[in-house]
Structure 1
Amino acid sequence: MTSRSPAAVLWDMDGTLVDTEPYWMAAEGPLVESFGGVWTPEQALSLVGLGLGDSARILQDAGVRMHTHEIIDHLTETVSGQLRIGGTPFRPGARELLSGLREAGIKTALVTMSMRSMADTVVSSIPFEAFDVVIAGDEATRPKPHPDPYLQACEALGVDVADTVAIEDSPNGLRSAVASGAVALGVPLMVPLHGLGAHALWDSLAGRSVSDLADLFSLHRLGASA
């Protein structure tokens, strides 16, 4: 079987492209505590990969007496502030693989549940034109784990989702990728991804190349049609 590159590679942001999940958790705990509540590590992990609207409602259930949009704005500004102070913590191998895809002429999209303002902050820190399309949380018709964000990205790119690879780190994100019909690649960070339908699980993107993605895509698409 000859390997063929996907038409596009679709990237999650928080936890996949950049290691910002600890920033979100550091913002959530003090917010809940400021209203007299308790926020456990288990509760924090339950928000990984969720849309911010869903996360805000869970925080309200934990005692945060703020409107949904106020919680979203507060979390986004707190995490964006950490990025401005500490720089963008890219996950190992992510920028290198992204650069390789661009050099190979393969389309790329960023598909994130973070707000567009934060996505723009992260994208602006990449020293090359990294993405053809960005779909952010305030632009998705329905958030992950629904397939909508990935389907919107493919529509904007002009590609069939079946001809793409989606890279995710969280259960909710992976469910979204699988439901969309993309070849779903899981690269776990904070929580395990076993048993969620990923076509492959990689420990890291470090040392991975465009050829590795092409092999993965061919195995699950060309092999399935053989």
Structure 2
Amino acid sequence: MDGTLIDSEPYWMAAETPLVESFGGTWTHEDALQLVGLGLHDAARVLQTAGVRMEADAIVQHLTDEVLRQMGELGVPFRPGAAELLRSLRDAGIRTGLVTMSMHRMAAAMVDLLGFDAFDVVLGGDDVAHPKPHPDPYLHAARALDVDIAHTVAIEDSANGLRSAVASGAVSLGVPHFVSLDGVGAHALWPTLEGRDAEDVSALYRAHRS
């Protein structure tokens, strides 16, 4: 979701910085980049190391509330071509799942703002025992969709997310945003989803499952 479907990373960064500073610490753009693609509790532990004296669960809830507040005020910033690709996939009858390390309640709130029935399954970071880069989130989503993971395409913008997708056995597509995905193991890298449709995704799948 974050960075692939919507450009919410600036919202997360805007939530992290004042939190760290409220405990007397400093938080740079480079610090924030290390959290891209991490499970929220893993991110919370990094923030604790930076000086945030709160329990991990409290940090997760605080950040989620702050990002949802910003979305409510500023809107949902979709990544180029993401919503259009989702509509194309749905029009083609392809089942879809949202696999994110954001909390389920945040993912569900974002999906409600899409304005169309975009996903058959929504899986949040609090729905799985092991976050990305473990393969569990994608394997869990495939089971929920009642499909073989080998018959899926996973689209990711972060290295941890891509590692999760590759380890799961899905055909893995990287669309880099804030961080490079070179050398992570993607079957393909696209610079953007803009101009892409269901046939492009199907062609990618056929090329790597032939």
User: TM-score normalised by the shorter chain: which range applies?
Assistant: over 0.9
Corresponding residue of 1:179: 167
Letter in 1 for 2:164: S
Aligned CA RMSD, in angstroms, stands at: 0.6
Matched residue type, 2:153: V
The secondary structure found in structure 1 opposite 2:154 is strand
Q: In the alignment, which residue of structure 2 is the partner of 1:85?
A: 73
Where does the alignment leave 5 or more consecutive residues of structure 2 unmatched? none
Looking at structure 2, the residues matched to 56 and 35 of structure 1 have their Cα atoms a distance apart, in angstroms, of 14
Q: Are 1:137 and 2:125 counterparts?
A: yes
Choose from 19, 22, 35 the match for 1:34.
22
- Aligned-pair identity (%): 65
1 or 2 for the larger relative contact order (CA 8 Å, sep ≥6)? 1
Structure 2 residue identity aligned to 1:118: M
Q: Distance in 1 between matches of 2:140 and 2:62?
A: 27
Structure 2 CA distance for aligned equivalents of residues 20 and 104 of structure 1: 27
- Residue equivalent to 1:4: none
**Distance in 2 between the 1:76 and 1:127 partners?**
22
Residue aligning to 1:7:
none
Q: Which residue of 2 aligns with 1:203?
A: 191
Aligned to 1:97: 85
CA distance, structure 1, for counterparts of residue 189 and residue 122 of structure 2:
24
> How far off is 1:41 after superposition?
1.4
What TM-score comes out, normalization by structure 2 length? 0.99
Residue 56 in structure 1 maps to residue 12 in structure 2: no
Are residues 1:121 and 2:109 paired? yes
How far residue 93 of structure 1 moved from its aligned partner, in angstroms, is 0.5
Match of 2:98 in 1: 110
Q: How far does residue 142 in structure 1 lie from its aligned partner after superposition? A: 0.5
Amino acid at match of 2:38: L
SS in 2 for 1:134: strand
Unaligned ranges ≥5, structure 1 = 1-12
1:215 aligns with 2:197: no
1:124-178 deviation per Cα after TM superposition (whole angstroms, max 9, x unaligned)? 0111111000110110121001000000000000000000000000001000000
In structure 2, distance between residues paired with 1:126 and 1:29: 28
Aligned length: 210
